[in-house]
Structure 1
Amino acid sequence: MLRHLGMLIIAQFIFSIAVKAQTVPLINSTLSGLVTDSKTKEPIPGVVIRINGTTHSAATDNEGKFRFVTGQKFPYTLTVSYIGYKTIEIIANGSPIEIKLEEAANQLDNVVVVGYGTQKRSDITGSVSSISKSALKQPLSSVDQLLKGAAAGVQVTQTSGQPGGGVSIRVRGGSSVQGGNEPLYVLDGFPLYNSSASAGTLSGTPLNPLASINPSDIETVDILKDASATAIYGSRGANGVVIITTKKGKADRSAVTYEGSYGTQSLRKKLDLLNAHDFALLRNDALYDTDPTKGRFQYLSQAQIDQLGTGTDWQAEAFERAPTQNHQLTISGGNPKTRYLISGNYFDQDGILKNTDYSRISIRANVDAQPFEKFKVSASITGSKADANVSPSGIINGLLIMPATASIYDASGAYTLRNPFENIFANPIASLKEQINKSTTNKFLGTAFGEYTIIEGLNLKVLLGADVNSVNEKNYIPSTIYEGSTIGGSAGKGTYNSYSWLNENTLSYNKAFGKHALDAVIGFTQQEFSSETTRANAQKFVTDDLTFNSLQSGATLVAPYSDATRWVLHSYLARVNYSFDNRYFLTSSIRADGSSRFGKGNKWGYFPSAAASWKISNEKFFESLQKTISELKVRASFGTTGNLEIGQYQSLATLYSLNYVFGGTTATGFAPNRIANDKLGWETTHQYDAGLDIGFFNNRIQLTLDGYYKKTKDLLLNVEIPWTTGYGTSLQNYGSVLNKGFEIGLNTRNLTGAFIWNTNLNFSVNRNEVLSIGNGAQSYISGNYIVKVGEPLGSFYGNVTDGILQTGEEVTKGKYTGSAVPKPGDRLYKDINGDGLFTTAADKAIIGNAQPDFIFGLTNNFEYKGFDLLIFVQGSYGNSILNSNMQTLELFTGQQNASATALNRWTPSNPSQTIPRAKLDPAPVFSDRFIESGSFLRLKDVSLGYTLPKKISAKAKLSNVYFYVAGQNLLTWTNYSGFDPEITSGSNVSPGTDAGIYPIARSVRAGLRLTF
């Protein structure tokens, strides 16, 4: 490493001497030249060359050449700059001139987008992570999927593998129990909150609203994590802020780029279930256990069983290899006064589950102009249309429990409507192929601003934006399948329309005074949101041919539904960044938010923050260490943020409609539904952060360390109130939750030169703890979960297994089975409360938690002579998953299919200590048997690309030709027995549940990028 570093320093020294040696003064009013990459020798288009002390500038063309009239005498100094390369100053002694640029190795010099402005990374006092360029290249269906494993402190969970399905994100842990936990997204200045529930899908399988935004349009993604960075967003900053900036055109650089890819997807693994032969044996055992007097072969004889074979593999019938494709055309260019970028995208993904898919067509236009010296305008507009065929609700569970002895079709060729046993459930292949669940989402999102320079350094900016969404859903269940047979078919239509407008008015001041630098902003913002939801349903149709297009022809009309909501947010904000001598940095901000969502006595919240950093490496006493430690900065911050994601009208008394019967006549009326709470306010998060940024060996090694303490109080919880009020509970501000942890970010340039190897590692540890839940309560139970003081959110609460009851133990241990008449082969459970027997309600304990001990991501990038290779590994360790599928598949009733673990079930000849006997009517018990390790290590992304040499691509009149092949989710190492350890529910109180969720796919794709 040091040898390569020494060679680099010597090369730079020789180059600088060679430049300075050109000292012969000349007079020439024209300067021309060529700008190339110092490593590849290839020309660089779009580089800006300026003459210091003048307004003269030019930009290189597609061949890296430039020429402009200067009217200056040689020599003079040029400043040469381009994104991704080091900005240099060079003395021009004559024309033409060749300029060689080196790639910017120091990421601390990169510009980072923060709230209402930008900063150099080296000047930031808060905790901010940026997504690497390699991660942004992935052709994914939604923006939020780019964050998987890409940044320290950011945990991403896929909540559905459905194409266009949802993703849940936690930045430094979840803090809210009943409020929102998702981060705020800011796309080109417009704040968005990602809530899958907003669409209200008729199918019951929500889609991801962010999936309608094309990820290929994104230039940068910056994640604000600590309160110093997020407090400028006030009441919406408690869960972190993801700032997304889309691509812009380059001055004097016109280009047309096409990028396309095609790939296939497949199911990573099938669950191991009983085939027809083994299921028939299980059913015989279950029937025999219930009534031995009828003999063992009550279902089928041994001869019949031997003829069954494997039967129907329902998973194989439902899952298939599915194609995906992505096409993007981008036109960009401009001049020093105007820049533009227009892109069109088509993305199409078939699901690995038959009859599911997602397609999106989008167009974006970004325009930046400076018509006058002191005035500039910018507009960013995107429109998209996304169509999806969504899987029926519960289809995965149906595929697993349908016995292999059942067939898809009957003897007549019609669908077998249902399984032939006591527990009736529908034919899942018929449901999958014949049900219609369509969703269409139309989205328009646009922002535009004008910025005027009042005096040097003082700018007034006015931004206007609008976000318009329309979701249309159509559902039909025909009468020819089981779900529709008893109701004569069922049709439904639903619409969800939302509109949000934004106005931001900011005054910023940026000025340097010798060693002092000041960057300040004040502003007023206002945003308003409104939505409408309408649903209509009908049943009992004469024909299925019209599907959902003739609701009026249904003989049975289902009561329609409609709803409307509206909220308003007004805000005042201010921030000051001060630095002295590029050594000491101070940041202070405050935001005041007034929201219509809260009680009339608590509409306004105030969110201050302060941060400081010291760049020790710029001190004189540090000069002797510069060769080893090139950058050293310490940071500290404190701030307050809020969470207003509680829905609308929660502070108000509400009514609900119901029917009354008077004298045989039905009348509709209203009754009170909720008590008012005028004091309902924000969930408030106080966060402390301490950080350290270190660079070694001219920043070839960059290390970022952060530790944080994040306490959320005034939780929004439904607490018990006296029944004399007429209500049992009320939404109030009670309780608190703590998140604390540390993060490590490491970037290294391992090898430079002809062969390049760079590594990026992020590692995060978060500890979550419930501190209080109000009214003196210590816990409350929600289904299979418990929220308990002293424990983390997401704690599983159930019974603890203790082996299998063996023959002869009925008297001594039978009371620990939970059965009225215990038998050998029953599962034993621990007596938690010590009363000498087991009962499911009284003998429960915490049996696992969905919070991981740590998460990490590791990316390695390699480059050699036009080839590039990316290897991205992601992992999580220490979290538990509730395998609800296994809970169902280990009932061993013989009425539904079962896990292959049933092959080792208890029998008199096989006295298993872990797997219980078959019995027809077991009482389901939620226990630690179904809590599994969710730890995994995944080869998340691998891509290999090749860039054609310029000489070859130029022959085809192309400036760049790039080919690549890539794979996602190729290998996964895990002990989890379900479909996938990465895809679980993302709810606040009950995360980490794999309950019939659409599995994630493994994919391989190939693509190319052509630039004209």
Structure 2
Amino acid sequence: MKKYVYLTVLLALFLTSAKAQEVVTGIVKDASGQTIPGATIILKGTSKYAASDVDGKFSIAAPKDFPFTLQVNITGYQQKEIDIYELSEEPAEITLKTANVLDEVVVIGYGTQKKGDLTGSVSSVPQLVLKQPISSFDRALQGAAAGVQVTQTSGQPGAAVSIRIRGGNSITGGNEPLYVIDGFPVYNSNADASAGVTAGPSINALSSLNPSDIESIEVLKDASATAIYGSRGANGVVLITTKKGKAGQNTLTYDAYYGTQKVLKRVDVMTSAKDWAVLKNEARANSGKAPYYTQDQINALGEGTDWQDEAFRSASIQNHQISLTGGDDRTRYAISGNYFKQNGVLLNTDFERYSGRINLDRDFSSKFKVGVNLTASKISSQVANDGIVNALLSMPPTVNVRDASGKYTYQSEFETPLGNPIATLEKEINKTTTYRMLGNVYGEYTFFDGLVAKVSFGADILNNKQNRYIPSDIYQGANSNPTGKAYVGSKFANTWLNENTLSYSKTFNQKHSISVVAGYTQQAFSVESAIAGSQAFVTDQLTYNDLGSGSVYTQPTSGSSSWALNSYLGRINYSFDQKYIVTISGRADGSSRFGKDNKWGYFPSAAVAWNVSREDFLSSFKTISNLKLRLSAGITGNQEIGQYLSLATLGSNTYFFGGQTYIGFAPNRIANPNLGWETTAQYDGGIDLSLYKNRINFVFDAYYKKTTNLLLNVPLPYTTGQSTSLQNYGSVENKGIELGINTENVTGLLSWNTNFVFSVNRNKVLTLGDGADYIISGANIAKVGQPLGSFYGYKTNGLFQSGDDIANLPTINPATTKPGDRRYVDINGDNKITQADDRTLIGNAQPKFQGGITNTLSFLNFDLSVFLQGSYGNKLFNQNRQQLELLTGQQNASVAAYDRWTPENPGNEVQRAFEDPAPVNTSRYVEDASYLRLKNITLGYNLPKSITSKIHSSQIKVYISAANLATWTKYTGFDPEVSRNEQSTLGQGIDYSVYPSSKSFLAGLSISF
């Protein structure tokens, strides 16, 4: 009897076990019948999950009780729930619909929101642009989002860029947007990754973040979207979200590419030694001097040195990344490591980055979860000397790179000597190394459905060191006594952040939806820096590593500063029946940067939206999938002015008494207790329109911005003891339109998508305060009634000819003017050319419009993307050309010198050669810098499953790519998108000795398991 009992129990256990091991199988497809890999299938109410394989197939253990529900979801598709009532031998076929445009979730300030509920102007940057071979993600914003102007200030690998969202607002304050990386706000200024040892372009602090780690980029543009960032929202906000793990999708991926780069373009200068020698003799003859070269010497000269050919090289670029992502229903993780190396197209310049990232999220219960986002990096860069490009263009072709003994030529032998730029590139050390750690930890607790409290703590720690050594055997290190120079600079900066928010969202009676967020944040920053130097070294062997071995010390400098910000913020979003939406947001900021009587600023905004497509009267219009009208208004601020500028300060001075040196202090700034924010009021109207089941999507915005209380240095009476004081004066306006179009042109086996962005911005200085009409800075002017970035100088109308009555014509200097000299327009008609009366506006650096278009095609296992970007109507002041057309015979000259004025060639464009002319800012050197650029083209191929399955890989992709492959422009310089003065708004549009940009060709591989 006992045997039968044991057998019955064992049989029951076996049957129970067999039943518990029963599984549900299925296949996940899209509407066109294509299988979907990577979809997550969760057994609702449990921790069991599975993921669809490369063929879209899955299997998941079935519970013993029926019915049960499977949840199927993947990014880009609507989530679907399947009720299972019984098991079947046939696999379940699950078809997912493409996510509705209105249901797509967009990251906004302090939260997320469905596109259908957005009232502000927000642009999403396509993920495709982040796959370009770039050192920093901000370079990828160019042409990818309407209303965003990106200027590459230098082609130096890792160098900073300048970004303007809907135009520049400030003349002397910061104009760069606020970057928020996984919730941590960062402002990227020129000096962020610089220890102060200047000799080249600033290295971009944002380049510490690996672009491959970024999941999404959202650009917040209008006041409704940015007011919640208050005093830092006037210049726009860029939200960066890094990649996170997903439940059920455990993936190991290796990505790599390798390629080469070449300089985009070269400037045409004289490379013939004989021709240049003739020019030099001519310049001396026109200056009343004897020839420098005899005819026999000229005949004996060789072909000449092409200094650009000696300096530019084919340079490598490479990237390697390993990432591991995944998780279960309670823990998600994403871990990555990256190595990036870009050699510059100029000799001995480079950029190198090591970075690692950990993102971890853990649900301890259904109510409480925590997360960590942490990025650490080391970036290092060898930077070219600031004047090296000018030296390459200026060095005459008669000078050899090396002398007869093989040593570098020290300098040119002429009256105004020039140092050998190749020796400088090869032997000068100018290295920057930056360690950065950026991260935060957060905790979220759900009190009840819809009410969530979140507390986060974060830190941004930056440790930077710059080493520079100029050896004694190159011109820069030996052109003065003592010889050999070394400098060491260090900078340590840290920022800490605490944010505390409470959010509530609820839908009542299926009609009324409300979402509320309120919070208190505090942030503080401090920085310490020091620079030491020494000269006159016995040997160059120790370089910068032993400053004490120099016999002459340079005066050391050090400094420290700090600021703090306390803030209260709030936002209410209300929607009725998903048709009528209202958003009200605001922030109160208290900043230590401003005067004691003006510490707090208040920044409100309001917006409304109407989802017209949800109205019954549009239901018969089947072509319209979505139509929404938006209107917003608000106020934002700008606190980027530096520290302690509202306070009276003292400066140190050196005094000599009785043969002794003493250090004393004297006032160098008077206090301004009322110093306050630059305030920007912005109004925006927008239309979102989708047609033909969301296959054609339009986003159109028109905006107006007015910035008041500009921070300007205002002249003071001499009785105050100071010449100027920083005060709130003046105003600037920006107005414009933006258009974004996204289309699905072809779907199915062959797919073709197009993304197009277009923007127009008009900028104008309204007032400069206290009766001032203009501010001049070099070739730039800020003038009331004119846009920022204007150029100021003389208009030219050709050259004086031999038959002209020069004595009775307007000239700058009638006593020395001769035929072949440049003529200028007499603006005021007084028959004289003077700075005060005849200089005028001669161009502007701001484009009339700009845009970009990306076409993405896929067929079978192939995919192709083509990205074009361009700008129209912007001008550049070509200061390189100005220098090369002086025709002094002291330096090299443009090939335009072949057409210079002579009695035998009385042209009307290029002036005569003359040994000592003064450079004059004229309209001749203001050039049209409009361009259209093939920014990137990439062709990829996904290996078939028959190959990938053999190594148990889920995907293997190979691709080839080219960046900056072609540029169509009339501009004669290296590159039509440069700015000598980096992020300066007043000094924008100057091209002088800027490191040239490059084009690249590469091949890449991506493999996932």
Q: TM-score range by the shorter chain?
A: over 0.9
In 1, the alpha carbon distance for the partners of 2:112 and 2:158 equals 32
Offset at residue 40 of structure 1 (A): 6.7
In 1, the alpha carbon distance for the partners of 2:122 and 2:43 equals 31
Name the amino acid aligned to 2:280: R
Counterpart of 2:449 in structure 1 is 456
SS at match of 1:95: coil
Q: For each residue in 1:945-979, what CA deviation from the matched residue of structure 2 results, as whole angstroms up to 9, or x when unmatched?
A: 01112232111210110111000000000000000
Q: Is the 8 A contact 1:876 1:935 kept in 2?
A: yes
SS at match of 2:838: coil
Counterpart of 1:367 in structure 2 is 360
Offset at residue 71 of structure 1 (A): 4.9
In 2, the alpha carbon distance for the partners of 1:72 and 1:737 equals 69
1:228 aligns to 2:220 (yes or no): no
SS at match of 2:890: coil
Name the amino acid aligned to 1:196: N
Counterpart of 1:60 in structure 2 is 51
Counterpart of 2:283 in structure 1 is 286
In 2, the alpha carbon distance for the partners of 1:655 and 1:525 equals 33
Change (3 A) 1:413 1:33: same
Please say which of residues 479-488 and 433-442 is displaced more in the overlay: 479-488
In 2, the alpha carbon distance for the partners of 1:105 and 1:970 equals 35
Q: Is the 8 A contact 2:155 2:997 kept in 1?
A: yes
SS at match of 2:364: strand
SS at match of 1:278: helix
Name the amino acid aligned to 2:306: D
1:894 aligns to 2:889 (yes or no): yes
In 2, the alpha carbon distance for the partners of 1:583 and 1:915 equals 66
Offset at residue 89 of structure 1 (A): 4.3
* 1:582 alignment partner, one of 578, 585, 589: 578
Offset at residue 57 of structure 1 (A): 6.2
Name the amino acid aligned to 1:439: T
In 2, the alpha carbon distance for the partners of 1:822 and 1:475 equals 45
Offset at residue 55 of structure 1 (A): 5.8
In 1, the alpha carbon distance for the partners of 2:96 and 2:300 equals 73
Counterpart of 2:990 in structure 1 is 993
Counterpart of 2:351 in structure 1 is 358
SS at match of 1:522: strand
Q: For each residue in 1:615-666, what CA deviation from the matched residue of structure 2 results, as whole angstroms up to 9, or x when unmatched?
A: 00011111001x1111100000001100000000010011111111111111
Name the amino acid aligned to 1:316: D
Q: Is the 8 A contact 2:39 2:73 kept in 1?
A: no
Offset at residue 303 of structure 1 (A): 3.8
In 1, the alpha carbon distance for the partners of 2:817 and 2:566 equals 65
In 2, the alpha carbon distance for the partners of 1:101 and 1:988 equals 53
Q: Report 1:892-971 matches (<5 A).
A: 892-971=887-966
Change (3 A) 1:724 1:493: same
SS at match of 1:624: coil
* 1:87 alignment partner, one of 71, 79, 96: 79
In 2, the alpha carbon distance for the partners of 1:221 and 1:518 equals 26
In 2, the alpha carbon distance for the partners of 1:799 and 1:325 equals 47
Offset at residue 123 of structure 1 (A): 1.3
In 1, the alpha carbon distance for the partners of 2:315 and 2:29 equals 41
1:141 aligns to 2:127 (yes or no): no
Unaligned residue ranges in structure 1 (runs of 5+): 1-26
Counterpart of 2:210 in structure 1 is 214
Unaligned residue ranges in structure 2 (runs of 5+): 1-18
1:979 aligns to 2:974 (yes or no): yes
In 1, the alpha carbon distance for the partners of 2:970 and 2:155 equals 20
In 2, the alpha carbon distance for the partners of 1:795 and 1:306 equals 47
Name the amino acid aligned to 2:77: Y
Change (3 A) 1:334 1:817: same
1:569 aligns to 2:565 (yes or no): yes
In 2, the alpha carbon distance for the partners of 1:378 and 1:551 equals 46
Q: For each residue in 1:668-722, what CA deviation from the matched residue of structure 2 results, as whole angstroms up to 9, or x when unmatched?
A: 1111110100000000000000000000100100000000001100000001122
Offset at residue 255 of structure 1 (A): 1.2
Normalising by structure 1, report the TM-score.
0.95
In 2, the alpha carbon distance for the partners of 1:410 and 1:503 equals 62
1:403 aligns to 2:363 (yes or no): no
Name the amino acid aligned to 1:148: Q
Q: Report 1:417-456 matches (<5 A).
A: 417-456=410-449
In 2, the alpha carbon distance for the partners of 1:546 and 1:342 equals 40
Counterpart of 1:18 in structure 2 is none
Offset at residue 880 of structure 1 (A): 0.5
Counterpart of 1:10 in structure 2 is none
Offset at residue 782 of structure 1 (A): 1.8
Counterpart of 1:511 in structure 2 is 506
In 1, the alpha carbon distance for the partners of 2:855 and 2:196 equals 40
Offset at residue 50 of structure 1 (A): 5.4
Q: Is the 8 A contact 1:452 1:459 kept in 2?
A: yes
Counterpart of 1:6 in structure 2 is none
Change (3 A) 1:814 1:312: farther
Counterpart of 2:309 in structure 1 is 316
Name the amino acid aligned to 1:278: D
1:520 aligns to 2:516 (yes or no): yes
Offset at residue 723 of structure 1 (A): 1.9
Counterpart of 1:730 in structure 2 is 725
Counterpart of 1:692 in structure 2 is 687
1:760 aligns to 2:755 (yes or no): yes
1:188 aligns to 2:194 (yes or no): no
Change (3 A) 1:141 1:713: same
Counterpart of 1:660 in structure 2 is 655
Counterpart of 1:14 in structure 2 is none
In 2, the alpha carbon distance for the partners of 1:320 and 1:157 equals 24
Q: Is the 8 A contact 1:56 1:70 kept in 2?
A: no
In 1, the alpha carbon distance for the partners of 2:95 and 2:663 equals 77
Q: Is the 8 A contact 1:884 1:993 kept in 2?
A: yes
Offset at residue 841 of structure 1 (A): 4.4
Name the amino acid aligned to 1:573: L
Q: Is the 8 A contact 1:840 1:925 kept in 2?
A: no
1:376 aligns to 2:372 (yes or no): no
Name the amino acid aligned to 2:107: V
Offset at residue 281 of structure 1 (A): 1.2
Q: Is the 8 A contact 2:28 2:52 kept in 1?
A: no
Counterpart of 1:875 in structure 2 is 870
SS at match of 2:390: helix
Offset at residue 68 of structure 1 (A): 3.7
Counterpart of 1:8 in structure 2 is none
Q: Is the 8 A contact 2:47 2:329 kept in 1?
A: no
1:176 aligns to 2:170 (yes or no): yes
Q: For each residue in 1:255-278, what CA deviation from the matched residue of structure 2 results, as whole angstroms up to 9, or x when unmatched?
A: 110000000000111111012122
Q: Is the 8 A contact 2:259 2:1000 kept in 1?
A: yes
Q: For each residue in 1:559-594, what CA deviation from the matched residue of structure 2 results, as whole angstroms up to 9, or x when unmatched?
A: 000010100000000101111111111110110000
Change (3 A) 1:405 1:594: same
Q: CA RMSD in A?
A: 1.7
In 2, the alpha carbon distance for the partners of 1:94 and 1:226 equals 53
Offset at residue 510 of structure 1 (A): 1.1
Normalising by structure 2, report the TM-score.
0.95
Name the amino acid aligned to 2:765: V
Offset at residue 823 of structure 1 (A): 1.0
Q: Is the 8 A contact 2:28 2:39 kept in 1?
A: no
Name the amino acid aligned to 1:185: Y
Name the amino acid aligned to 2:999: R
Please say which of residues 863-872 and 201-210 is displaced more in the overlay: 201-210
